[in-house]
Chain A
Amino acid sequence: MDALSNLPPEFADPTNKYAEVSNLLPIISDFLADNLQVEDILDLIEGKLAALSPEGRRIFLISIGIIVNGGPLPLLTQAKGFTPKKLAEKVILGTLVKEADSLGKLVPPSQLSGDPDRAEELCRKVARALDLPIEGETAEESKTRLYQLDSVELDKVQQEVERKIQKALEEARAREAASKPSGE
């Protein structure tokens, strides 16, 4: 797991083999065993990982590294009241796989590695999945901060803005232009 904790940029390199499913499974297995003492959900994870795009798998790998590394928020140590299996399901399947799937379509893996905002976004999503409060923040502040960081939400907002501006451009095309006193 030490190799993961520094998140070297080659994890994002599309030519390397780290992020193939067959290589990911032992890494996750170590992660689960070392951090959560869970060993029996690998079959379930294998199918989910195979369904991810290659970019999604790289992002998944980097995400595991961020969580192991402590990220900007020490999360797993604060999780209380979860069985290790439940925790793994929530963190691995409920958050990291889902996020890797969404982010894989939006953000190049290289952008995730070394980006403090994306690391924070990921950790906050894990915290949200586990209902963990963020120290020094009210629930509302945590919600607002996550909204600001949320790549998927931001993408949705941007798509909406794109539609609005495209419509405005289309309507403007139908209007006659104002007279310009000189050419260009």
Chain B
Amino acid sequence: MESEIITQDDLILALRDNKHAPKWNYSTSDKLTAPMRKEVSQYEKNLRAVKGSPQTWQESLQSSVEKLLGNALDHIIFYQRLKRVRQLLPRCDHLQEFPPISRSDLAKEPWSFVPDNIDYSDMVIYNTTGTTGHPFEVPQHPVSVAMYGSLIKDCLNRWGIKVEFAPDHVAIALVGYQQSTLSFITRLSTFNDGVFVKINVHPVAYADPSYPCHYLREAQPEILTGDPLAFTQLARLFEAYHLERIHPKALISTGIELLPRVREFLQSYFGCPVIDWYSLTETGPIAYACPQGSGYHILPPDIHVEFLDEQGNNVQEGESGEITITGGRNRYFPLIRYRTGDWGRITFEKCACGDPMPRIIDLQGRHPVIFQAKSGEFLNNADVARILRPFPLLIYEFVQERDLSIHVRFDLLPNKPMVDIIPKVRQVLETAFGAGIMIEITQDLSLATRPLQGKIRPFQSHISVLYE
């Protein structure tokens, strides 16, 4: 399907051919057709109506979850198999009969979670960064991807940030700091056809390390999205080259935990709110940081959030549990009781900010992990996940010691041969981290059989954290 959006206009070309622009290495659009745009627009309208009243929200959620359960029992192989050995009813009050699933389940047989009764021609694939040690591909639909935009706008609105997304300027710049990542420019219809740029602020992407600062000064994005490491590196670049800083209306921080000190620094540096955003590739957006600092409000009204103890039982309100998601907007990968690996507590208490949605308190997870190459350059866990992605790994642990030595333990996906994997992994790691660093790689069959409860820390670094 071709997008309805025009992505080769004067503004796009000017931004693309700007002398400070990064090396563009990708080309895409939001891939929305006219009917899809309509669907997203309708979702946005409903969003306000549904979230306006707790009762409407609960009724709407119950209806969408029951529809999901019914469809899963009829059309998703994982649940078709399951219903042969236990009685499962497509009712919210029977949700707990459905077993919680983990990344390990999704990594082993992702296809068994894809419904068999839909048209696949719009399917696109995203890779998870594998930050919990089970890398896998998540199929998505352009509509569910575009709805990220609807939720971002809802969040900005909750923060009282007035935006003026329009075709004549850059709506959003997504910045990364990675050895290798996609860079592209397009327009997004969810942001009123505003321009969207995805750029890498790592020096590898430019002829001169100061270029990303110049580029962003010229592009003047309304909103910056990205992870705290990329934001911090960007601020450092502005400082290092004595350039006048940019002042977006907000920074939306994703990917890894936003430490309080880092948030304060970024807020003060860029002169705008920094909103922590809790979202996973598998689930889409889950919650955003409350403007009053009171935890994280659940953002989409179409996800059912449970908090489970280590044995998979629901904990009481206020007790800490693993955040477990049912529902969402991804028609190609609808999840039922998906254990995220992140922990927190739920509260339904009224919040002073006015958002009636419940809040996650003490959200734990998404710890940033920074590694160092022999040259002194930094890599993050997403870099390492990308490097290891071509290999058929079911699970892995990647540890870097203070002396920069690296220890990798892994287990393979079922039915994948072991042929040459260790020398090939060693080779790619030597290329990324530099020759001369001690690298130990072993296959460990016990990794995959460990309990679900997030005991595996796939990325561990004993060097000091870069951006603190």
Chain A residues in contact with chain B, CB under 8 A?
Answer: 111, 115, 117-118, 151, 154, 158, 161-162, 164-166, 168-169, 171-173, 175-184
Whether A181 and B120, one on each chain, are in contact in the complex, defined by CB atoms closer than 8 angstroms, is no
Whether B111 and A181, one on each chain, are in contact in the complex, defined by CB atoms closer than 8 angstroms, is no
Give 3 nearest A-B pairs by CB, closest first: A168-B120, A172-B123, A182-B225
**Counting CB contacts under 8 A, is B328 at the interface?**
no
Whether B140 and A169, one on each chain, are in contact in the complex, defined by CB atoms closer than 8 angstroms, is no
Beyond A179-B29, A183-B254, A184-B279: 4 further Cβ-contacts under 8 Å? A162-B111, A168-B114, A172-B124, A178-B29
With the chains together, A169 CA to B148 CA distance in Å?
22
Which residues from 126 to 159 on chain B have a C-beta closer than 8 Å to any C-beta of chain A? Answer: 126, 128-129, 137, 139-140, 142, 145-146, 148-149, 152
With the chains together, A115 CA to B86 CA distance in Å?
9
**Counting CB contacts under 8 A, is B461 at the interface?**
no
Residues of A within 8 A of B110 (CB): 169
Whether A183 and B174, one on each chain, are in contact in the complex, defined by CB atoms closer than 8 angstroms, is yes
Q: With both chains docked as a complex, state the minimum distance between the C-beta of B97 and any C-beta of chain A, in angstroms.
A: 16
Whether A182 and B148, one on each chain, are in contact in the complex, defined by CB atoms closer than 8 angstroms, is yes
Interface 9-mer from B54-62, B188-196, B239-247: B188-196
Whether B29 and A169, one on each chain, are in contact in the complex, defined by CB atoms closer than 8 angstroms, is no
**Counting CB contacts under 8 A, is B343 at the interface?**
no
Report whether over half of chain B's contact residues are helix, strand or loop; otherwise say mixed: mixed
Residues of A within 8 A of B85 (CB): 111, 115
Knowing A161-B116, A162-B111, A165-B111 are in contact, say whether A180-B125 is a contact too (CB < 8 A).
no
With the chains together, A165 CA to B112 CA distance in Å?
8
Knowing A172-B139, A181-B225 are in contact, say whether A164-B252 is a contact too (CB < 8 A).
no
Residues of A within 8 A of B148 (CB): 180-182
With the chains together, A161 CA to B31 CA distance in Å?
26
**Counting CB contacts under 8 A, is B280 at the interface?**
yes
A162, A168, A181: most-surrounded residue (chain B CB, <10 A): A181
A-B pairs with beta carbons under 8 Å apart, 23 shown: A111-B85, A118-B84, A154-B84, A161-B77, A161-B116, A164-B116, A169-B111, A169-B125, A172-B124, A175-B125, A181-B149, A181-B152, A181-B190, A181-B191, A182-B148, A182-B174, A183-B174, A183-B225, A183-B255, A184-B128, A184-B129, A184-B279, A184-B281
Whether A178 and B125, one on each chain, are in contact in the complex, defined by CB atoms closer than 8 angstroms, is no
Q: With both chains docked as a complex, state the minimum distance between the C-beta of B325 and any C-beta of chain A, in angstroms.
A: 14
Which residues from 147 to 191 on chain B have a C-beta closer than 8 Å to any C-beta of chain A? Answer: 148-149, 152, 172, 174, 176, 184, 186, 188, 190-191
Can you list, as one digit per residue, whether each of B101-129 has a CB less than 8 Å from chain A (1) or not (0)?
Answer: 00000000011101010001001111011
Whether B126 and A177, one on each chain, are in contact in the complex, defined by CB atoms closer than 8 angstroms, is yes
Whether B81 and A158, one on each chain, are in contact in the complex, defined by CB atoms closer than 8 angstroms, is yes
A166, A177, A184: most-surrounded residue (chain B CB, <10 A): A184
Knowing A161-B116, A184-B281 are in contact, say whether A179-B30 is a contact too (CB < 8 A).
yes
Whether A181 and B112, one on each chain, are in contact in the complex, defined by CB atoms closer than 8 angstroms, is no
Knowing A162-B77, A165-B111, A184-B280 are in contact, say whether A178-B142 is a contact too (CB < 8 A).
yes
Q: How many residues of B contact A (CB 8 A)?
A: 54
Knowing A172-B139, A173-B125, A176-B26 are in contact, say whether A181-B77 is a contact too (CB < 8 A).
no
With the chains together, A117 CA to B280 CA distance in Å?
38
With the chains together, A175 CA to B149 CA distance in Å?
21
With the chains together, A177 CA to B124 CA distance in Å?
5
Residues of B within 8 A of A183 (CB): 174, 176, 225-227, 254-255
Q: From B226, which residue of chain A is reached at the shortest CB distance?
A: A183
Q: From A180, which residue of chain B is reached at the shortest CB distance?
A: B145
Q: From B117, which residue of chain A is reached at the shortest CB distance?
A: A161
Residues of B within 8 A of A161 (CB): 77, 116
Q: With both chains docked as a complex, state the minimum distance between the C-beta of A137 and any C-beta of chain B, in angstroms.
A: 21
**Counting CB contacts under 8 A, is B28 at the interface?**
yes
Q: With both chains docked as a complex, state the minimum distance between the C-beta of A2 and any C-beta of chain B, in angstroms.
A: 27
Whether A182 and B252, one on each chain, are in contact in the complex, defined by CB atoms closer than 8 angstroms, is yes
Residues of B within 8 A of A172 (CB): 120, 123-125, 139
Residues of A within 8 A of B149 (CB): 181
With the chains together, A79 CA to B116 CA distance in Å?
40
Knowing A166-B111, A177-B124, A179-B196 are in contact, say whether A184-B255 is a contact too (CB < 8 A).
yes
With the chains together, A181 CA to B28 CA distance in Å?
12
With the chains together, A173 CA to B28 CA distance in Å?
14
With the chains together, A173 CA to B139 CA distance in Å?
9
**Counting CB contacts under 8 A, is B329 at the interface?**
no
**Counting CB contacts under 8 A, is B27 at the interface?**
yes
Whether A178 and B111, one on each chain, are in contact in the complex, defined by CB atoms closer than 8 angstroms, is no
Whether A182 and B28, one on each chain, are in contact in the complex, defined by CB atoms closer than 8 angstroms, is no
Residues of A within 8 A of B281 (CB): 184
Knowing A181-B188, A181-B191, A183-B226 are in contact, say whether A117-B84 is a contact too (CB < 8 A).
yes
